[in-house]
Chains A and B, each alone.
Chain A
Amino acid sequence: MKIACFVEAYNFDLKSEQSALLKFKSTAESMGHSFEFIFKDDISKISDYNALFIRATTDPSSCAYIVSRLAEQSGLKVIDDPHSIRTCSNKVILHDIFQKNNIPSPGSILFYGDYSPENIDGIFKSLGYPVIIKTPYTRFSSHVEKASNVAEFIEISKHLLRKAKVLVVQEYVQSDFDWRVGILRNEVIYLCKYCIPKGGWKVKSKINGKNVWGDTIAVPRDSISPELKDISITLSKYVGNGLYGLDVKETNEGYKVIEINDNPSIYDGFEDVIDKDIYEKIITELIS
């Protein structure tokens, strides 16, 4: 089988990501398949392959969406498929999915720019202080801000609404880490703690003017609690049967899902430290 891996130049910037990509390649080749990196200029050749694995950042306005949809139409097995990209990339759609399916998650409200005192009061009465404000399309904690009071909320939301028609305003849940549950075809394939750096409030925080990432601590997937596993698989089934990374807070009131991501990070020495068969499982899924 010929597997195409759609990447962009930045996928090779970090040694750990480059090394993970090479592990995917060597794993595929050891299983008797070809594994070629393809770039933007190769999009029109996609029908030459049997399967497509996307590692470039996905969202519906990116090239990755185009290549995913073209591959799907050409009958290739695709990770990430277009439906998963459209769903997971958009926090507004996720808000709807969580509500419709009673997924335990922090309270959240869609905000369209109604700054009337009644509306603002209603938001804070419902969600408390502080609140998290997100644009529909966020990646790696960008365009995710925290507002501690009404004045901050107005300033941040007005700024974010310049580039978005709607925002998701979410209850703030304090934690030292997020569970990251890696799911493939509705099965847990890895489990990690994404730690919040000291002095920050999200996995990638700005501390003293510098972006700081928290540590990643891999945990054996078999040690996942039954409740976390059940929530994660239930949600992934509502999205599809692709490769996902769920971010979940553990609170005194139980687990609360923050989001489900397509195209989850898989870096050598991070997500793969304990369950080392991630690569084989993904390649096997691509060729199935």
Chain B
Amino acid sequence: MSTGQYNYSYIFKYIIIGDMGVGKSCLLHQFTEKKFMADCPHTIGVEFGTRIIEVAGQKIKLQIWDTAGQERFRAVTRSYYRGAAGALMVYDITRRSTYNHLSSWLTDTRTLTNPSTVIFLIGNKCDLEAQRDVTYEEAKQFADENGLMFVEASAKTGQNVEEAFLETARKIYQSIQDGRLDLNAAESGVQHKPSQPGRNTLNNDQQQNRYNKDNCAC
């Protein structure tokens, strides 16, 4: 019985954020299923995906939250940032507006996650070279200025998708090794033991609150 080697020792929580239609769900799908999802519907909510990877001989389970990009959901999706160890911030290289909004996404990420959260910038749809609207160089500069990791990727061809997810994990793992990321901190986004993904911050005490709503003694 060689239990250890097949299990995973860490769980990393990731979030994928960015404007609507930049291909966040397709990136997740490509990463977990190795397939391109054509006609991917808009995400109305927060999709959840998982995959087990290996970093430095350690099995790591990634729990990935793929958020809705629509502006009207922004207030709600903000609550999913908390406790993310990695944030994949995605724009569409063929639509400049999605790039222009990055600073707002970045502000959210910085405000709502902790300082050790690894932020990885992904310029998606790099297979559509002819329709390019954002140059590699300017995005690279933006990433450098803000201390972000960066690749251009394609959820369609799979180019650099694996790399972005894995590199983020490596960076997080490195932070653990360096002691920069405190595993005991409640919001580190890293768990030492497997557990369920779902009970996020949204639903604390809702029973209690439901009760209060009806019986508030002011």
Co-assembled chains A and B: no
